Structure 1
């Protein structure tokens, strides 16, 4: 562990041109005293590192010194592919590896390119999860990812809606969709998708497997994602909508449902209202998806959905007025 930290100290100094002991301590999550001990160890090993006391001082390397410790390990090379997604790298157990890989890349760049790279990092940040969405807890994700990197068969416990089940899988890929991780795996002869947050336990079986030569993760996900999204839209509501407020349909948070609804819409009448069919997973979920449209949408059927919306709006009215609407 200490050897790895000494390498990081050296790379931080080379990439940044020097820094304070306090900044190094925060970056490495150690005490300032530990930083000074590490600097002393580097100096004893022949690294031309020194400390400047006083205001504006800090820990520095002699100008012109370049370490050759900039080759990426295989794990670090994998992590660089996730450099724009630090949250994803951390989820997969590659957070520290990614940080070291980025340091090695910065240290290997000439000063003018190094400055450009750090300016980009200061100005661009990729935030994958959608607004108001809390990331899933994924306790087994790092184990799943390790099996994926090494083509190892996995035994998982997967929580379905009614009960947990056990599966033995060949992990073929991980996909992050709007902040949610999905495992694509081979279960016998079939390819299936598993929401990572529902994998409550994962353990390598000790067996290896051979990946299908013709499997392409991006193509598979593209082909199956839309099909999956449509398959869960099991109910339909016949509605009228004010076309001036079609943008409110985006509040449904399900792109496949919005696309199907818009494709079903008829021509508007003289008052700007049009017939539309809106799909959903269940009538309960659909009712909550339609409520934000308020007075700009009327559900014509089925009767059970109208009854549910009527009861919900009456209860809401009573909550604020003390009695149901007359």
Structure 2
């Protein structure tokens, strides 16, 4: 582990004119004290590294010194696809590997290309989790990821919505998907390819059995089809609403994307007052009530009658509360 860290420090020094101990510590996720010891080890090994004190100080290599240490290991090469997703790499336990791979790539570039690559990293950042939602704890994510990398079958206890809630499942892991900050396992089971939310895995056992990966399986294509079919399954019913023009224009901000897109596809022509009728896909009456209340007074439920009555009752209760 220390040899790998010393190599990373050396590569970091080769990619920058000067770097502080604090910057090295943050990059490699170690303490500043550890960095001091590592710098002493590099110097003792004959590496011409110098430290300058002061506000503009830091460590640097003797001008012209280059070490050919930028050959990628297998793990580093496999991790490069996560280079733009630092939080995802960290979740999977690959943060240090991605850092080392990036340093090797940067050190192999000529100075002018290295500067351009640095400017891209400074100007673009991808934040995968969605707004207004907390990141779910995923204690078994690293273990599942290792099973995916190593193509090993797994058995796990899983909490689902349907009864019985706690079930035991066996799967051949085919891939991981990060969707709106949540991790999902795509696995092959006796009943076909299934999707599991990693945060709902309670216990996990890696089996001593290799998997048989379908030769034509495409993870990205599967996920696209899965999301589309998932939206169709969860929207089992619909409600007829009448919207004013302002509410109709703001549907994309007020509803989830699948519901807003489906509603827009059913819209009729506006009447003389600018009102439009839409068919809003809903999961259930209980789930529809907060969604429709979010639309405010610019939306009126026309059908079904039970949903209209429950929205009216909720509105009366809210008005009574605020009058009080």
Both proteins in one fold, TM over 0.5: yes
Q: How many residues align?
A: 322
Cα deviation digits, residues 101-159 of structure 1 (max 9, x gap): 11111111111111111111111101122222222222211111111111110111111
Distance verdict in 2 for CA 1:33–1:222, change over 3 Å: closer
CA apart distance, 1:169: 0.2
Pairing of 1:169-318 with structure 2 (within 5 A):
169-318=171-320
Q: What residue is the counterpart of 2:118 in the other structure?
A: 118
**How far apart are the structure 2 equivalents of 1:27 and 1:78?**
20
Separation in 2, partners of 1:256, 1:32: 49
In structure 2, how many angstroms separate the alpha carbons of the residues matched to 1:115 and 1:12?
14
Contact 1:252/1:290 (<8 A) preserved: no
Seen in structure 2, the aligned counterparts of structure 1 residues 240 and 31 have a Cα distance that, compared at 3 Å, is closer
Q: Are the aligned partners of 2:85 and 2:126 in contact in 1 as well (CA < 8 Å)? A: yes
Q: Tell me the alpha carbon deviations over residues 141-194 of structure 1, each in whole angstroms, 9 at most, x when there is no partner.
A: 111111111111011111112421111101111122222222111011501111
Q: Which SS does the other structure have where 1:155 is aligned?
A: strand
- Matched residues in 1 for 2:55 and 2:300: separation? 69
Query: In the superposition, relative to structure 1, how do residues 21 and 223 fare at CA in structure 2: closer, same or farther (>3 Å)?
Result: closer
Structure 2 residue runs of 5 or longer lacking an equivalent are none
3-state SS of paired residue (1:93): coil
Q: Output aligned runs, 1:33-112, within 5 Å.
A: 33-112=33-112
| Contact 1:49–1:59 (CA under 8 A) maintained in structure 2 | yes
1:12 aligns with 2:17: no
> Counterparts of 1:87-166 in structure 2 under 5 Å?
87-161=87-161, 162=163, 163-166=165-168
Using the TM superposition, give the Cα deviation of residue 259 of structure 1 relative to its aligned residue in structure 2, in angstroms: 2.0
Going from structure 1 to structure 2, the CA distance change for 1:35 and 1:11 (only over 3 Å counts) comes to same
Question: Take 1:149 and 1:31, find their aligned partners in 2: how far apart are those partners?
Answer: 30
Per-residue deviation, residues 248-268 of structure 1 (Å, max 9, x unmatched) = 322454322222212222222
Q: 2-side partners of 1:20 and 1:57: how far apart?
A: 7
- What SS is found at the alignment partner of 2:169? strand
Partner of 1:81, secondary structure, is helix
Which is worse superposed, 161-170 or 242-251?
A: 242-251
Distance 2:136 2:41 in 1: 42
Q: In structure 2, the residue corresponding to 1:257 is in which secondary structure? A: helix
Q: Displacement, 1:33?
A: 3.5
SS in 2 for 1:320: helix
Question: Is contact 1:147–1:171 with CA below 8 Å preserved after alignment?
Answer: yes
Q: What's the C-alpha RMSD, in Å, of the aligned pairs? A: 1.7
Provide the rounded CA distance (Å) in 1 between the counterparts of 2:30 and 2:140: 28
**Distance in 2 of aligned mates of 1:296 and 1:63:** 69
| Unpaired runs of at least 5, structure 1 | none
Distance 1:26 1:214, change over 3 A: closer
* Aligned CA distance change for structure 1 residues 166 and 178 (closer, same or farther; 3 Å): same
> Structure 1 residue 55: deviation in Å?
4.4
